[in-house]
Structure 1
Amino acid sequence: MLAIACFFSGAALRICDGLLPRLAGDFTVTPGTAGQVILAFAMAYGFSQLAYGTLGDRYGKARIVCIALFASAAGALACTMAPDLDVLVRLRILWGAVAGGVIPMSMAWIGDNVPYEQRQATLARLLLGTLSGMTAGQLAGGLFADSAWGWRGAFGTMCSGYLVVGTLLLARLRTIPSHAGAPPVRRAWLPAILEVLRMPWARVVLVTVMAEGIFLLGPLAFLPAYLNQRFGLALSVASGFVALYAIGGVLYAMAARHIVRRFGERRMVLWGGILMGAGFLAWFLIPRGWIAAPIALAVGFGTYLYHNTLQTHGTQMAPTMRGIGMSLFAFSFFVGQAIGVSLAGQSFDRLGPAPLLLVPALVLPLTGWAFARALKRRSEA
């Protein structure tokens, strides 16, 4: 049930990528300006984590996921009725704020109930739901952008999905103990956050995941618009190509147990960074639009070699305050995404695609190398 919940949360994270050119046309703005709908969602999603961690530790993580699903349905419904871009951006802030409880609290629930040596493989199974949702959301965004229903139809569909999975999860709450695996934690909000931030390893993990949000998810949001602009691909086709990014993550998730055992965490994050950087360079150099599709598949596989290792360490940053730890993890990730979308949008509008693609091509391999070094120092300590 948590994986299904993460499916719709993942779809919400990516559905606007393919819609940006349609939003830009409907509201007579540039794609970078239309990108405010992604920026607003990501910022609100990230900042809301600071509240959800405390609520999850106190009242139960599965219960918070269920509440967040119904609130997200209301947020998506409100977005379908937005009369202009300014109102839509404000409503996306509300939607992002209430949606923030789904994925991090699901991961924290697994952290409470699954031993560490089995956790990366279990999180990979949860990741199947998230990535399938990202695939569906990115593809649906392009399909709705090319249809008469447009962005209003896309958000209405999201509302329906949230309602269905929220109802199913509500029916299961009686069989999912709200505090399974972890007793309630009643620490004051700010002191608990500061306690986690004082942990050196927590700071390494949080800075690394913020860098991933800035240099991966930010530029990735403008990739369908880039393919549409450079190669003249229909938005549905461009979004479908980019959606293979999530399929690459699904392939990783299916093989995660064997990959972890064979390669180990350090080599996974190192090669993940190399694959991501090489993919962005290849997107810049390709002579034909269709080549973007297999590149997206490889980048997705590399991303989750890297990210799943990172989020596994996120669940272990503060075992006695896992909800707060995961909330800070998600906060860093999505604030990084918001910063990345803002920078990528300005770069795309003013400087074209070169900085959008070449900066991640350089930074992402360096980030993977740096985190691999940090893991080695930690294992030797």
Structure 2
Amino acid sequence: MATPSDVGRKPAAWGAVLSMALCVALLIASEFMPVSLLTPMAEGLRATEGQTGQAISISGLFAVAASMIITTAAGTLNRKWVLVAMTAVMLLSLVLVAAAPNFGVLMLGRALLGICVGGFWALATAVIMRLVPGSDVPRALALMYGGQAIAAAFAAPIGSYLGGMFGWRAVFWALTPIVAVNLVWHMVALPSLPARQRQDFRTMFGLLKRPYFLRGLAASMLSWGSAFTMFTYLRPFLEQVTDADVTTLSLLLLVLGCAGFVGTWASGRFLSGSVAPLLRLPALLMGGCTLGLLLLGGSAVAAGLFLALWGAMNTTMSVIWMTWMSQNAGDAPEAAGSLMVAAIQASILLGAVVGGMLLDGMTISATFIGSVVLAGIATALIGNGRHLLKPE
């Protein structure tokens, strides 16, 4: 791993950071685009909506697997070309999905996308740590996660609109030239990033033997699990409890997405020094917003205010936890990144499954209560955050 003095002798590669931010936006847009195109995709492929919905879950499953093995499988390969290769695979996956003649080809394309998602996120923080000086890492992470905010705010509504006008395949074809541009940008902007050391599973197991890291990993899983237990089923809540029509629903989702920009800006501007006091903030605030929706969600105005706060903290959560990782597992950033991404992806999947079981077996309110309970457990586990920090 590069020392602060090693990095300090080189200027920050902000062009490379921006290239990674665009890649994040494209990955998020590609991963969740089927949510807004589910019905026409099912009709076009002569599949049920339930089957087509598995196109999202399969990408998540492959993301979990890829995040665990990518740093080991990449061996001593230059990380620049690993990122370039994964972006090329994302391009191939979009082509397969756009041209899919049947459900099987669609699932193959989505599986390839899952590999890109898991692989990219496993390496992303470690790469950012090498592109900028240590003091600029939170700002660079915030900039990269700005791509997530852009995709969250605009991908679904734009995809739904274009899909209605030109068909669902055209939406995926429209993404391909942007990914191609991003591929070229990677090749130009990313500096050479030779592997610092060969990674293996022993490095990951070594991290898991560190009590502070294991506690942090568990706390981050609970935080993301809480968030996605709620977020996955937000639309039925707004339809059933807030009684939102299509226009109101679109506005509320846009408020949530745009608030992510505020969270990205704030985390990049104000996050510095030890993150210990901030670690419980995402679970505490987002859990509080979910509780607020349960109590006052019948009002569209109140729902909008809670969703704005939730959306701002959603992007901030990623920056806070990845900064924690960079500060407390800096001797093995790629192994730590693999574990963090696998834990987050698994908690997202489990949160969606648990939330769905509560929704089907009970009510949408039960799903949101489950989210609040997970947030409470996360907050209690984190405490003041000091026991999640590497010993001095």
Partner in structure 2 of residue 46 of structure 1: 64
Counterpart of 2:120 (choices 99, 102, 121) is 102
Gapped regions of structure 1 (runs ≥ 5): none
1:53/1:326 contact within 8 Å kept: no
What TM-score do you get using the length of structure 1 for normalisation?
0.83
Range that drifts further, 113-122 or 190-199 = 113-122
Q: Within 5 A, what are the aligned runs for 1:189-338?
A: 189-228=200-239, 231=243, 233-234=245-246, 238-239=249-250, 241-260=252-271, 265-284=275-294, 285-289=296-300, 291-338=302-349
Partner in structure 1 of residue 198 of structure 2: 186
Partner in structure 1 of residue 148 of structure 2: 130
Q: 1:167, CA displacement in angstroms?
A: 2.0
Aligned mates of 2:207, 2:34 — CA distance in 1: 33
Alpha-carbon deviations, 1:311-359, whole Å to 9, x = none?
1122344323322211111111112112222333343344331222221
Which amino acid letter does the alignment assign opposite residue 320 of structure 1?
Answer: D
CA 1:341–1:243: 2 relative to 1, 3 Å: farther
Gapped regions of structure 2 (runs ≥ 5): 1-18
Partner in structure 1 of residue 172 of structure 2: 155
**Count of residue pairs brought into register by the alignment:** 371
Q: 1:88, CA displacement in angstroms?
A: 3.4
Aligned mates of 2:214, 2:265 — CA distance in 1: 30
Q: Counterpart of 2:381 in 1: which secondary structure?
A: helix
CA 1:292–1:60: 2 relative to 1, 3 Å: farther
Partner in structure 1 of residue 12 of structure 2: none
Q: Within 5 A, what are the aligned runs for 1:341-360?
A: 341-360=352-371
CA 1:312–1:360: 2 relative to 1, 3 Å: same
Alpha-carbon deviations, 1:228-279, whole Å to 9, x = none?
5663533x863553243343232122122553359x6344333322221122
Range that drifts further, 79-88 or 117-126 = 79-88
2:42/2:52 contact within 8 Å kept: yes
Aligned mates of 2:330, 2:55 — CA distance in 1: 35
Counterpart of 1:177 (choices 166, 185, 192) is 192
- How many percent of aligned residue pairs carry the same amino acid? 16
Range that drifts further, 287-296 or 101-110 = 287-296
Counterpart of 2:28 (choices 10, 15, 27) is 10
What TM-score do you get using the length of structure 2 for normalisation?
0.81
Aligned mates of 1:352, 1:47 — CA distance in 2: 32
Q: 1:380, CA displacement in angstroms?
A: 7.9
CA 1:38–1:352: 2 relative to 1, 3 Å: farther
Aligned mates of 1:191, 1:267 — CA distance in 2: 31
Aligned mates of 1:281, 1:320 — CA distance in 2: 39
Aligned mates of 1:282, 1:64 — CA distance in 2: 44
Q: 1:164, CA displacement in angstroms?
A: 1.9
1:144/1:150 contact within 8 Å kept: yes
Aligned mates of 1:18, 1:345 — CA distance in 2: 18
Range that drifts further, 122-131 or 361-370 = 361-370
2:212/2:387 contact within 8 Å kept: no
Partner in structure 1 of residue 76 of structure 2: 58
Range that drifts further, 368-377 or 43-52 = 368-377
CA 1:43–1:218: 2 relative to 1, 3 Å: farther
Backbone CA RMSD of aligned residues? 3.1
Alpha-carbon deviations, 1:79-98, whole Å to 9, x = none?
22345556534532222113
Q: Counterpart of 1:15 in 2: which secondary structure?
A: helix
Alpha-carbon deviations, 1:123-175, whole Å to 9, x = none?
11222122212222233344356x144543333333332222112222334xx
1:241/1:290 contact within 8 Å kept: no
Which amino acid letter does the alignment assign opposite residue 173 of structure 2?
Answer: G
CA 1:245–1:123: 2 relative to 1, 3 Å: same
CA 1:23–1:319: 2 relative to 1, 3 Å: same
Partner in structure 2 of residue 367 of structure 1: 378
CA 1:255–1:213: 2 relative to 1, 3 Å: closer
Q: Counterpart of 1:177 in 2: which secondary structure?
A: coil
Which amino acid letter does the alignment assign opposite residue 41 of structure 1?
Answer: S
Aligned mates of 1:133, 1:212 — CA distance in 2: 21
Q: 1:29, CA displacement in angstroms?
A: 4.6
Range that drifts further, 249-258 or 284-293 = 284-293
